[in-house]
Structure 1
Amino acid sequence: MGARRRTIATTAVIALVTALGAAACTSSPPGPQDAATALAAALESGDLDGVAFTPDVSADQAEKQRTDAYDAVVEALGEDALRVSLVSAETLEDDDALADAVLRFTWSTAGSAAADSERQWTYETTARLERDDEDVWRTHWASTILAPDLTVAEDLVVSRETPQRANVLGAGGEVLVEARDVFRVGIDKTFLPAAEAGAAARGLAAALEIDPDEYAKRVESAGDKAFVEAIVIRREDSYYDVPALRKLPGVNAIDDSLPLAPTRTFARPILGTVGTATAEIIEKSGGAIQAGDLTGLSGLQRQFDEQLRGRPGLRIDARGIEGSGSEGQARTLFTVPAVDGEPLQLTLDSLVQQSAENVLASVGPASAIVAIRPSTGEVLAAASGPGSQGLSTATLGQYAPGSTFKVVSALALLRAGLTPDSSVTCTDGITVDGRRFDNFPDYPAAALGDIPLRTAFANSCNTAFIGLRDETPQDAVVDAAGSLGLLPTQSLGFASFVGAVPSDSDGTDHAATMIGQGRVLASPLGMATVAASVAAGRTVTPHLVEPGSSSADDATDDSTSSAQASDDESDESSKDAETTDEPRPHVDLTSDEGAALRSLMRAVVTDGGAGFLRDLPGEVMAKTGTAQFGETDDLRNHVWMIAIQGDLAVAVFVDEGEYGSTTAGPLLTRFLESPVVAALTD
């Protein structure tokens, strides 16, 4: 029995040893897949230290060849432009110690992995791998791994073709912004010794009336051969004597062209400017924009820069390096044609815009005129005066609208059951929760007492509207504002603010809301929209950019307005308008409501404070507005007027003036009487 057991055990051991031996003899060496995958990752990253090469080359040598070959491409397309993936790694049929790894290279020519395939340079190369005696797969290095047929005597060279920047168009396709001849004036540091650059910069700055210290600092910190631009001068601008400037030490005036509007001031806060791309813009572009490129720097030029700029053309060549015997010789590996920019179509009418700017040219405080065509919502003019100091008061200003907001309050009252002929009470003053509200100082005594709503509106009786506050809760006023186009949450497709009416007002705040003060805010664009909605008999949404334009930065811009309205007769300037998290459902303006509001606005011209418009052609309708702001002992007035004439709605605003009728009124009259606008409203 024991002998039998030993026999069985011995047989089992022999069988196990035999099996293990057979397994050891038949195990396969490692395949090339892992080594090939690691090679692809290393080529993409540029760090080849982890790649095993055959003894004839080192990782350092391979990495230097890769860097030398790709330097120009990486500089042009960006460090993250390259992706390398493994297509296959298979041993040779007649030698399992050799393998070919097929690698796919993809360069994103727009600087982004999401670029469309037509602008991606994609190709495949083959790397030969060899398994050594220790079963390590090593790469036979060759420059052809990097690009098709690339030799060690060639580098990759990238050439860019700049596309033509598109024009900005106005109403009827008229060109507003196009390439115009200019002089780039600045200090050329190759013109004088480095030690004299600072003094030369200050001399030029003095002649141009710009900050000498700031410009000198820029010049002194620039490279030894740099040209440091100080100003761009239109060729036809006679204000500057360019020949005289050229005679100053170190000054160069380079002939060039830039996309410019008809004049230096024409709609500048809205259109923005074009210039050499800043470091910030270049960094954010992901490689699409390079140093020296022209880009939009502000306004619509920046917001719609991608559309206007187009996409550069690209050519990648393999070119012989210096000393190779074939230097200068090149063969093209990849090309992408340039795509010119697409025009940006706006609704601005150049003649109407220029008329508005002419009217505002001598106004000292911040000011604006906005004109809208009610039938379409097209913004024909959005002018900001010189007192706005480059800000777009017209589209971004935030001010208490004063009595122009009574159009909104009147709509809320109409919805509460009143009519233009309903009797209301207008007193000298009214007190709400201990706070007294008065009419404006020159309010006519004949319009006091029990009077029709039409008369109270025409003469702008504050006390009548405040006295009716219980008829129109704050929600009703918010709804009425929305019906007239003051929708704070809507995006108009460009940097804009229309208005904001707080939803949580009560007491004195609600009373102030009824007369367009307190925390109510509006822009001239917003109040022109109110007038346009009344004219059209429906809610008008203004538009400045025609449909079809695309923007990566839908309604943001560097040009933001810091102008804020203050409360009437109190120091509440730090309180911003608050709105509910969820906007109230929109209520459309009806044609009957529009007709009633037009009759009220017509009464302002025939029987109220805008009688100076009575002789203008057509049935002009208007509303005046004055909103107090500042400290109690130093109250000042924002002044407004809105008007309708034919298919034209206008808002005029001046940051500080006397009354709407006496300060904004003459500006409105001049605008409506200008030949261009008069022809438009015939």
Structure 2
Amino acid sequence: MGKLKTLAISMSILVACTALTGCDDAAAGAKATAATLAEGLSRLDVAAVTFADGDAGAKTAALADATKGVAGLKPRVNVESVDVKDNAATAHLSVVWPAGAETWTYPTTAELARKDGTWAVAWRPDLLVPHSAAGDVLTVAHTSGARGNILGDGGEVLVTERPVVRLGLDKSHVDAATAPASAKALAVLAGVDPEGFAQQVAAAGESAFVEALVARDDASRTATDAAVAAIPGAAALKGTLPLAPNRTFARALLGTVGEATAELIAASGGTLAAGDETGLSGLQQQYDGQLRGTPGVRLLLLSPGGAAPKELFSTKPVDGTPLSTTINAKLQALAEDVLKDQTSATAIVALRPSTGAVVAAANGPGSNGYNTALLGQYAPGSTFKVATSLAMLRKGQTPDSMVSCTPELSVDGLAFKNAGTYPAEHLGSITLRDAFAHSCNTAFISNRDKVAQEDLASAAASLGIGTAPTIGVPAFMGSLPATAGGTAHAAAMIGQGEVLVSPLAIATVAASVARGALVSPTLVSPTPVFPAPTQEAASPSAGPGAAGTKTPAAGPALSGAEAAQLQDMMRAVVTSGHAGFLSAIPGAPVLAKTGTAEYGNDKPLKTHAWVIAAQGDLAVAVFVEDGDYGSVSGGPLMKAFLTRAES
């Protein structure tokens, strides 16, 4: 009996353990299937999930259709728990959707069943999105807060919401036969291509509003309401857009705002949707996140029957914050006015030596929208002799040191000459000051054995050339080879060859001399550092050999004594040299340097014209891409700017 009783107890334990193991296997299988489901729902691809009806492909297609209105957004689905009873289980899931600065979180459940040892999921339309039925589509709509203004010097508002009018053709208010003629008439009125606009109208839907132009709704608008109303189907819809004081004001810098493009939407990670207003270029695009703020999000369920959308979740928008810049509206407008008649690419950059604040960064109409002022890459010509002179001073010379100015100097068989207008009375043995004032090329090149390329690069860096941009926007601060010899070094001594600067970079040189210490230009606060543009992105006239150009290492600090000597020499350019046209400018004494740089392969070679100047707490660079001598092409522009800046 004792043995039989012991055997019976042992058999009971074995049966119980077998049953328990079976329960453990069932729970593990259900949990694994639930985990596969959660992973698939997170990817909106449930091909790896076993469904009760066996058609996983159809379920993935259904998910794609149900979420096509939130393209770019995907949920995060997690398994919270799984309840198992015999061959049935309920998986409790949590679903999290990104929704602007917040998240939409809710629970859902999935029913599982085991057959022949395999767990399968029972599909239903609301498995992922609550309250949805077959054919419903989850859609996202954004609501925008107020876009932040762009501010200038002293907090002056540069860009803010200003009235606009959207000129277009409403096809629901014109018959098909009349639409082509109306489209062409409106295009002529708006100043756009008639044939192209007519094609856009023809391709649009029957009830579409086809926009021809967004125009400022102010005194400059030529397409009046009456003229628009006279065209069948034409309409002028009132609205606002973030705009500068006028169409050209700092356009390349400030940028534009408009409807998000497909490319921007795709790259936004779900933060932009069709119809959203966003920055398209310049500061508006670069700082769009700050200016646009956080859009409000509405997640809606659209039914195929045309019923009113059902709102499932919403957040309120957060207004954008203003972007502060150092641009002075008066000086920016003045610079643009000075350049308004220039057909070549031109620029004027002005900054405060005391602070480095960039108060004007203007591009002329000949720049065709390119930001020549900050991104242009050009040989600086004789304006670079400021850096060459600094290198010579560091080798023991002074403004009174004697140098040899000859009509011509040959280096490795290449002849270097002075400008054709160089005064004969200043040839021979002259002071460094005189050579600088009249820009004797041969006098500087003759010192190439005393000033190595490394010395030249170091001096340039001490004045800001090649330093990392601190301006808060992409900018080119210049470059030159750290090592060079022969004709390459000789050319670098006079700002030719592989020496490149932007108007901003050479304006920084003038500012550093005026301040007596290196100036780090700033334009946006705070000022994130952007890498300098690559040589492949250089402006067309950067010239051959630019791809091998390197940024110089940081040079020693510019000393007060060095700056005083450079100021002496730059003042001589005005009192006795090529910039005599600036001698009568009212106000503080003007320091200056002119420059002419040859480029290209034409015969004769084309030339860039440069003038840099400093007066009081203002340092300015003027650049003309296709000019004559610096004093001839750039001189009148500099004179006009400084004269009117003082008024």
Q: TM-score, normalised by structure 2?
A: 0.88
1:655 maps to what in 2?
625
Q: Tell me the SS of whatever aligns to 2:213.
A: strand
2:89 maps to what in 1?
99
Q: Distance in 2 between matches of 1:631 and 1:529?
A: 30
Residue type of the alignment partner of 2:283:
L
Equivalent of 1:563, from 531, 540, 551? 540
1:270 maps to what in 2?
253
Q: Distance in 1 between matches of 2:181 and 2:365?
A: 32
State the Cα deviation string for residues 587-608 of structure 1 (Å, max 9, x = none).
2222221111111101111121
Contact 1:90 1:99 in 2 (8 A): yes
Contact 1:397 1:563 in 2 (8 A): no
Q: Distance in 1 between matches of 2:460 and 2:285?
A: 31
Contact 1:315 1:334 in 2 (8 A): yes
1:122 maps to what in 2?
105
Residue type of the alignment partner of 1:86:
V
In the alignment, is residue 452 of structure 1 matched against residue 431 of structure 2? yes
In the alignment, is residue 615 of structure 1 matched against residue 595 of structure 2? no
Q: Distance in 2 between matches of 1:144 and 1:206?
A: 53
Contact 1:371 1:379 in 2 (8 A): yes
Equivalent of 1:584, from 534, 539, 553? 553
Q: Distance in 2 between matches of 1:506 and 1:281?
A: 47
1:35 maps to what in 2?
33
2:441 maps to what in 1?
462
2:412 maps to what in 1?
433
In the alignment, is residue 83 of structure 1 matched against residue 83 of structure 2? no
In the alignment, is residue 544 of structure 1 matched against residue 523 of structure 2? yes
Q: Distance in 1 between matches of 2:523 and 2:402?
A: 41
In the alignment, is residue 284 of structure 1 matched against residue 267 of structure 2? yes
Mapping of residues 315-326 of structure 1, within 5 Å = 315-316=298-299
Q: Tell me the SS of whatever aligns to 2:603.
A: helix
State the Cα deviation string for residues 632-666 of structure 1 (Å, max 9, x = none).
63233211110010111000111222221222111
Contact 1:457 1:600 in 2 (8 A): yes
Q: Distance in 1 between matches of 2:469 and 2:309?
A: 58
1:205 maps to what in 2?
187
Contact 2:142 2:276 in 1 (8 A): no
1:640 maps to what in 2?
610
Residue type of the alignment partner of 2:162:
R
Distance apart, 1:350 and its partner CA: 0.5
Distance apart, 1:299 and its partner CA: 1.3
Contact 1:504 1:578 in 2 (8 A): no
State the Cα deviation string for residues 124-172 of structure 1 (Å, max 9, x = none).
233343445x344444566664456778999766543222211111111
Distance apart, 1:174 and its partner CA: 0.8
Give unpaired runs (5+ residues) of structure 1. Answer: 1-16, 111-117, 566-572
2:8 maps to what in 1?
none
In the alignment, is residue 185 of structure 1 matched against residue 178 of structure 2? no
In the alignment, is residue 672 of structure 1 matched against residue 639 of structure 2? no
Mapping of residues 156-305 of structure 1, within 5 Å = 158-194=140-176, 197-238=179-220, 240-242=222-224, 243-305=226-288
Residue type of the alignment partner of 2:343:
G
Deviates more, 1:178-187 or 1:167-176: 178-187
Distance apart, 1:631 and its partner CA: 3.8
Q: 1:179 to 1:18 in 2, by over 3 A?
A: closer
Identity across the alignment (%): 46
Contact 1:491 1:555 in 2 (8 A): no
1:379 maps to what in 2?
358
Contact 2:42 2:75 in 1 (8 A): yes
1:365 maps to what in 2?
344
Alpha-carbon RMSD: 3.4
State the Cα deviation string for residues 597-623 of structure 1 (Å, max 9, x = none).
111101111121112222222121111
Contact 1:425 1:451 in 2 (8 A): yes
Q: Tell me the SS of whatever aligns to 2:445.
A: helix
Aligned length: 631
Q: 1:22 to 1:606 in 2, by over 3 A?
A: closer
Q: Distance in 1 between matches of 2:51 and 2:638?
A: 81
Contact 1:504 1:579 in 2 (8 A): no
Residue type of the alignment partner of 1:645:
Q
Residue type of the alignment partner of 2:22:
S
Q: Distance in 2 between matches of 1:153 and 1:246?
A: 42
Q: Distance in 2 between matches of 1:397 and 1:66?
A: 50
Q: Distance in 2 between matches of 1:26 and 1:604?
A: 99
Q: 1:367 to 1:28 in 2, by over 3 A?
A: same
Q: 1:472 to 1:207 in 2, by over 3 A?
A: same
Mapping of residues 9-158 of structure 1, within 5 Å = 27-29=21-23, 30-31=26-27, 32-46=30-44, 51=49, 70-71=66-67, 74-76=68-70, 78-91=71-84, 95-110=85-100, 119-132=102-115, 134-139=116-121, 145-146=127-128, 158=140
Residue type of the alignment partner of 1:265:
T
Residue type of the alignment partner of 1:81:
K
Contact 1:89 1:101 in 2 (8 A): yes
Q: 1:88 to 1:414 in 2, by over 3 A?
A: same
Contact 1:488 1:497 in 2 (8 A): no
State the Cα deviation string for residues 200-223 of structure 1 (Å, max 9, x = none).
444433344433444344333333
In the alignment, is residue 604 of structure 1 matched against residue 573 of structure 2? yes
Q: 1:517 to 1:249 in 2, by over 3 A?
A: farther
Q: Tell me the SS of whatever aligns to 1:471.
A: coil
Contact 1:52 1:137 in 2 (8 A): yes
Distance apart, 1:515 and its partner CA: 1.2
Q: Distance in 1 between matches of 2:497 and 2:301?
A: 70
Residue type of the alignment partner of 1:305:
D
Q: 1:125 to 1:368 in 2, by over 3 A?
A: same
Q: 1:58 to 1:622 in 2, by over 3 A?
A: closer
Q: 1:615 to 1:348 in 2, by over 3 A?
A: same
Q: Distance in 2 between matches of 1:270 and 1:477?
A: 32
State the Cα deviation string for residues 312-371 of structure 1 (Å, max 9, x = none).
112346789869xxx6595x6533221111211111000110011111112222211110
Q: 1:264 to 1:328 in 2, by over 3 A?
A: closer
Q: 1:43 to 1:166 in 2, by over 3 A?
A: same
Q: 1:483 to 1:47 in 2, by over 3 A?
A: closer
Q: Distance in 1 between matches of 2:397 and 2:58?
A: 89
Give unpaired runs (5+ residues) of structure 2. Answer: 1-10
Contact 1:393 1:561 in 2 (8 A): no
1:14 maps to what in 2?
none
Residue type of the alignment partner of 1:495:
P
Contact 1:374 1:536 in 2 (8 A): yes
1:8 maps to what in 2?
none
1:569 maps to what in 2?
none
Contact 2:146 2:320 in 1 (8 A): yes
Residue type of the alignment partner of 1:90:
D
Contact 1:367 1:384 in 2 (8 A): yes
Q: Tell me the SS of whatever aligns to 1:564.
A: helix
State the Cα deviation string for residues 406-434 of structure 1 (Å, max 9, x = none).
10110111111111111111112212222
Q: Distance in 2 between matches of 1:392 and 1:60?
A: 52
Deviates more, 1:517-526 or 1:488-497: 488-497
Q: Tell me the SS of whatever aligns to 1:666.
A: helix
